[in-house]
């Protein structure tokens, strides 16, 4: 495709490209570019926040470029300090490998496997001698390292910074040297690291990579960035109805951004929706339904998307039981008779973590047995037939005898 046209497609939804003219130049002279994308295998599950960058990589692949999915198995031993105010806990190497494998599988839900090369940076970083590390470190200064916002904040607030954390960005930059990458992608929180890659490449006599940053996606809470540790994430392997439900729970203000970054709907249509939402011509729930349906269709298929849409309507609109409810088989041998204490059952089924929590749920009117609100904490129930136990609005369990 014509370089100018490609640039237009690549630019869509990006926050920053440094330098755009260099990118155009590379597109003209090289044709197919080597695009580096580094992954920190500290968490195994890819969520929609990660998908923003992955979708852009997919776009680059479709334009004929080659993506290097770089698993930072070595760097994970430090943990990326980006955006953190605390030192990360280092992971055990088996865990890192396991995460890497899971990550890779999940990434190919979005990326084109045929146009992706997967590499592990331990391959070269583990062999780097101390003297080479010193040479690498000499290319950057403490003062400049402290310019980095997260380090700066930690320094200002008198939070500890491990010396090894200073090395992290340098290792990531060194990866770019080893790969001789043309382009590196990341979220805006990666800007410093990506720029350092450029500088270190120059120090090693290479043409610097072009840096492309993508927006950070807020999680379901609507304010903080999507992350597993904050519990506001939507994983791309979550079961369809969870994915759908979580998408329905995003704050209304985020609808436009989610459409823009997570679906293939074109900009004109998204703009139109945003305008209609503002004018009250489009109900936010309707907009979210479409959003959720599109995203579930992408990761699964349109028929499951339709099914979960109906399920949502049944459960939350009509407040009825969903069609599919997981079962829990009570081991009757452990019971004296056919009766079981409700609090105990709640804990057994996992609908409540502790008995105290189970009590609380009952006291607050959050527990239903066969669609009847449970009022008595001492209730003993008979398990003669099949029953439905419900906690809150969205947790259901079919209780049967083993």
By the criterion CB under 7 A, which residues form the site for RNA? 155, 158-161, 221-222, 231-232, 241-242, 244-246, 248-252, 283-286, 288, 312, 316-317, 341, 343-344, 347, 353-357, 359-361, 364-366, 378, 380, 391-395
| Shortest distance in whole angstroms from residue 203 CB to RNA | 29
Nearer to RNA, 113 or 272 (CB): 272
Q: How far is the CB of 374 from RNA (least distance, A)?
A: 11
The whole-angstrom separation of Cα 374 and Cα 119 is 55
Long-range contacts of 129-136 (CB under 8 A, 24+ apart): 133/167, 136/170, 136/174, 136/200
Three-state secondary structure call for residue 380: strand
Q: Which is nearer to RNA, 203 or 357 (CB)?
A: 357
> CA 155, CA 293: separation in Å to the nearest integer?
45
Query: CA–CA separation, 105 vs 398, rounded Å?
Result: 32
Pick the closer one to RNA by CB: 59 or 381. 381
| CB closer to RNA, 124 vs 316 | 316
| Shortest spacing between CB 284 and RNA, in angstroms | 4
Sheet with 372-373, strands from edge to edge, namely 327-330, 395-401, 387-391, 367-369, 372-373
| Residue 114 or 163 having the CB closest to RNA | 163
Residue 32 C-beta: closest distance to RNA, Å: 42
CB of 156 to RNA, least distance (A): 9
**In the complex with RNA, which residue's Cβ is closer, 135 or 281?**
281
Whether 306 and 293 have beta carbons less than 8 Å apart is answered as yes
**Which one, 198 or 288, has the nearer CB to RNA?**
288
- Provide, rounded to whole angstroms, the least separation between the CB of residue 361 and RNA: 6
Q: Nearer Cβ to RNA, position 95 or 363?
A: 363
Cβ–Cβ < 8 Å for 23, 208 = no
Is residue 382 within 8 A of residue 336, CB to CB? The reply is no
Q: How far apart are CA 209 and CA 308, in angstroms?
A: 43
| Residue number, 202 or 286, with CB nearest to RNA | 286
Q: At a CB cut-off of 8 Å and minimum separation 6, what does 224 contact?
A: 218, 230, 232
Q: What is the distance between the alpha carbons of residues 144 and 35, in angstroms, rounded to a whole number?
A: 26
H or E stretch covering 187: strand 183-187
Backbone angles phi, psi at 166, to 5 degrees: -65, -30
- List helix spans (H) across 81-216: 93-107, 122-125, 130-137, 142-147, 149-156, 163-179, 191-203
| Contact in structure between 390 and 371 (CB atoms under 8 Å) | yes
Q: Token digits for 223?
A: 């304010």
> For residues 212 and 1, what is the distance between their CA atoms, to the nearest angstrom?
20
> Smallest gap, in angstroms, from Cβ of residue 398 to RNA?
17
> What stretch of H or E contains 222?
none
Please state, as a whole number, how many other Cβ atoms lie within 10 Å of the Cβ of residue 311: 17
- When the beta carbons of 124 and 341 are compared against RNA, the nearer one is 341
CB of 140 to RNA, least distance (A): 20
Cβ atoms of residues 198 and 18 within 8 Å: yes
CB of 334 to RNA, least distance (A): 12
Q: Closest distance between RNA and the C-beta of residue 363, in Å?
A: 8
């Amino acid at each position: 495709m014509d370089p100018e046209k490609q640039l237009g497609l690549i630019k869509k939804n990006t926050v920053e490209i440094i330098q755009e003219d260099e990118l155009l130049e590379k597109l003209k002279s090289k044709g197919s570019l080597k695009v580096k994308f580094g992954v920190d295998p500290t968490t195994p599950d890819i969520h929609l926040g990660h998908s923003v960058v992955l979708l852009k990589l997919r776009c680059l692949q479709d334009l004929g470029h080659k993506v290097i999915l770089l698993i930072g198995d070595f760097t994970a031993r430090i943990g990326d300090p980006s955006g953190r105010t605390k030192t990360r806990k280092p992971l055990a190497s088996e865990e890192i490998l396991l995460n890497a494998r899971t990550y890779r599988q999940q990434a190919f839900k979005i990326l084109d496997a045929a146009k992706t090369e997967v590499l592990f940076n331990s391959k070269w970083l583990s062999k780097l001698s101390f003297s080479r590390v010193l040479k690498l470190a000499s290319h950057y200064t403490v003062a400049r390292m402290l310019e980095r916002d997260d380090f700066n904040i930690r320094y200002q607030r008198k939070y500890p910074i491990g010396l090894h954390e200073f090395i992290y960005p340098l290792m990531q930059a060194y990866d770019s040297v080893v790969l001789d990458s043309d382009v590196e992608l990341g979220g805006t929180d990666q800007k410093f690291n990506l720029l350092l890659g450029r500088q270190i490449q120059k120090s090693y006599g290479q043409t610097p990579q072009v840096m492309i940053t993508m927006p950070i996606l807020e999680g379901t809470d609507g304010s903080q960035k999507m992350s597993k540790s904050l519990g506001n994430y939507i994983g791309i392997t979550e079961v369809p109805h969870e994915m759908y439900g979580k998408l329905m729970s995003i704050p209304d203000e985020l609808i436009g951004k989610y459409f823009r970054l997570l679906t293939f709907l074109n900009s004109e249509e998204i703009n139109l929706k945003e305008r209609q939402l503002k004018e009250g011509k489009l109900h936010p729930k309707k907009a979210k339904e479409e959003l959720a349906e599109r995203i579930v269709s992408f990761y699964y298929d349109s028929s499951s998307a339709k099914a979960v849409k109906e399920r949502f309507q049944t459960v939350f609109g009509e407040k009825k039981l969903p069609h599919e409810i997981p079962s829990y088989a009570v081991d009757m041998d452990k019971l004296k008779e056919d009766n079981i204490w409700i609090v105990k059952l709640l804990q057994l089924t996992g609908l409540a973590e502790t008995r105290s929590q189970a009590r609380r749920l009952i006291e607050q009117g959050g527990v239903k047995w066969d669609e009847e609100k449970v009022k008595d904490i001492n209730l003993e129930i008979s398990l003669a037939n099949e029953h439905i136990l419900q906690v809150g609005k969205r947790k259901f369990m079919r209780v049967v005898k083993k």
